[in-house]
Amino acid sequence: MTEYDYIIIGAGSAGCIVAARLTEDPSISVLLVEAGGSDRNPIIAMPAALPFAYQSKALGWGYQSGPEPHLGGRTIDEKRGRVIGGSSSINAMIYNRGNPLDFEGWAERGLREWDYAHCLPYFRRMETFSGGADDWRGSDGPMRINRCEARHKLYDAFLRGGEQAGFSITPDHNGFRQEGLHVAQSFIHDGLRWSSARGYLHPARARPNLTVLTRSLVKKVIIENGAAVGIELTDGRHSQKINCAREVVLCAGAFNTPQILMLSGVGDAGELKALGIEVKADVPEVGRNLENHPGVNVQYASRYEDSLVSELNLFGKAKLGLEWLLRRRGLGATNFFETGAFLRTRDEFAFPNMQYEFLPLTRFVRDGKLIAIPGFQFWMDLSRPESRGTVKLRSADPAAHPSIVFNHLSTRNDLRDLVEGVKLARRLVAQPAWDGFRGEELSPGPAVQSDADLESFVRTNVGTSYHPAGTCRMGGDSEAVVDGDGKVKAILRMRIVDASIMPRIVTANLSAAIMMMAEKLSDSILGKRALAPSGAAFFRSLPPEGASTTRSA
C-alpha cells in the first residue's frame, strides 16, 4: 500500500500499544515503522539475559551523551532499543508507575486531564497484576505484571535494614503509597520478558489492517501546507514515500522523535536553516527540556557464599539456562532487581527524591564485558533532577546520531541530593540487619568520607538510568510542543506519543508511565470518551510547617 489512515513511527513501548489499539477498528489501516528488526531473540525473552540485551549492538542505537560540561567532558552510554518493542525489549523490566504527585504536577501545568485521577484508570486498563485487582490495580490488561519472589537472604537484609533505619515497607508501591521500601514488581510472566511487543503487538500482528515495516529508517515526515501528509523512509538502499490520510504519530522516543521533527523542518528555525533544512514551523522547544535520572552505584563486598554470585558459577549458569529452557523457571526467569525503595533524603520534599534498586551481587564492566563479584550493590538515582539538557541535530543526515547533552549536575541541588543519597545508602547498610553480610565498601570506598570527596566521586561516576524524557513537552502554555491530546501545535495531523512529551519526568522507571500515556492517547486519537476518573486516594507526605515546598511540583 502507498497510503494508510495512520502511520506510527517507532514500534517501542508506546508505538506497539497505539498500533494495537487503533487496529481494533477493522476499518482503520495502520502502518507501523520500526528502524530495528525482530524481537524473536532468546536474550530478549530470557529476563536474566538483560545485561546481554543491554550490551548488544544489534539491538540498540549505540547513543552516547556528551561531552557533558559539568562532568569534565565525559560521555555517557545511553541504552535505547532499536528493535520491535523498543526499549521495553532490552530494559530491566522493572515495573514502577511513578508517584501520584507526578501526575498532579502535570495537571498544575495546565493539563487538567493528566492528573492522577485521570491517569489511574489507564494504568489499571493496561495491566494484569499477579496480586489481583483493587482500586489501584488491574486484572485483565495486556501487560502481565508480577510481584518478585525476593527469596535471597540479602533481599531480606535490605528490607530489614530499611526498617531499622526508620523507613516503612509499603505493600504495593504502585498502589496507595509509593514511598518506602518494597518487594519489586516486574514486566515478567511465565518466565518471559513481557515487553509491549509481547503484550500488545504480537496478538495484533494477524490483523489485516496492520502493516509492520522493520529495518526502515524514517528520513522525515512530509509536511505540506502546514499538515503532515506522509513520510519518507529508507531501508538503507532505497527510499520510499508513503502517504497518510489521517495522522502521523511519532512514537520514536525522547531522542529520535525530536530528531525526526527537526529533519522534517519543525524546530528552532535558526538551527534548521544552518543545516540547510527547509523550515516548516519555528518551534524552538523541540529538543529542549531533556531530563533523565542521574545516579551512581554504591557497592559492598561480601562472602562468596552470601552473595548471589555463588549461584552463578559455571555449574550454576548451566543450571540457570537449562531450567529456563525447560521450565521457564529459576534464576533465568528473574531480572535480579527484586527489592527497591523510594525514599526522601530530607523532610522538605513532598515526594521521594531518591530511588534505590538493590542487587544481591556486585557487578561492573571491564573491557566491555560485565563482571560479577561477591557482594551487593545499590543503584541509586535522583527522581526529580533540576538539570536540563538538549537534543540537537549534528547534520541533515537522518542516519547520523543526534547530539545529546544532559547537563547533569548543572545545579548545586542535584549534586547535593546525590551526595545525600550516597550517605543514606550507607546508613541503610550500617543497620544490624547487615551484620554478618557486610564486607568492605568497594564504591565509593571507606576513604571517601567528606562532602568534597563524595562530590568528586559523584561527578566522576555518575551515569543514568536510561530514562530520557521531555524533549517535546506537553503543556497548556504557548511554548509547549504538543497539547494535552499529544497533537503537535504547529503542525496539523501530527501527534507525539512517547516519553518526549512528559512535561516533567516521573519518580520511577519510565516504561509503565509511557504505556499508560499510549493507552490514554489512543482513546484520544480514536475520538473515544476518556475513561471515567478514579476516586482512589493516594498517600501524601506533607512537609513540616514552614519547610520549603518549592521543589515539590
Active site residues: 467
Q: Are 223 and 236 in contact (CB under 8 A)?
A: no
Helix (H/G/I), strand (E/B), else coil: 292: coil
Q: Provide the angle, in degrees to the nearest 10, between the axes of the packed helices 116-126 and 100-108.
A: 130
Q: What phi and psi, each to the nearest 5 degrees, are found at residue 340? A: -165, -175
Cell triple for residue 468?
530520557
Given a contact cutoff of 8 angstroms between Cβ atoms, the answer to whether 75 and 439 are in contact is no
Task: Mark out the alpha helices in 167-252 (DSSP H runs).
Answer: 196, 202-204
Cβ-proximal residues to 369 (8 Å cutoff; 6+ apart), any chain: none
SS (H, E, C) 386-434: CCCEEEECCCCCCCCCCEEECCCCCCHHHHHHHHHHHHHHHHHHCCHHH
Separation of alpha carbons 400 and 63, rounded Å: 11
Up-side HSE of residue 512: CA atoms within 13 Å toward CB? 28
Q: Do 236 and 245 form a contact (C-beta atoms < 8 A)?
A: no
| Residue 405: closest CA among 497, 510, 287 | 287
Rounded to an integer, what distance in angstroms lies between the CA atom of residue 398 and that of residue 231?
13
Residue whose C-alpha is closest to residue 180's, from 188, 192, 172, 189:
172
What does DSSP assign to residue 81?
A: B
The DSSP code sequence of 467-518 is --B-TT-B-SSTT-SB-TTSBBTTSBTEEE-SGGG-SS--SS-SHHHHHHHH
Which run of H or E residues covers position 217? strand 217-224
Grid coordinates representing 524? 484520544
Query: Cα–Cα–Cα angle for 457, 183, 167, nearest 5°?
Result: 65
Q: Cβ(125)–Cβ(512) under 8 Å?
A: no
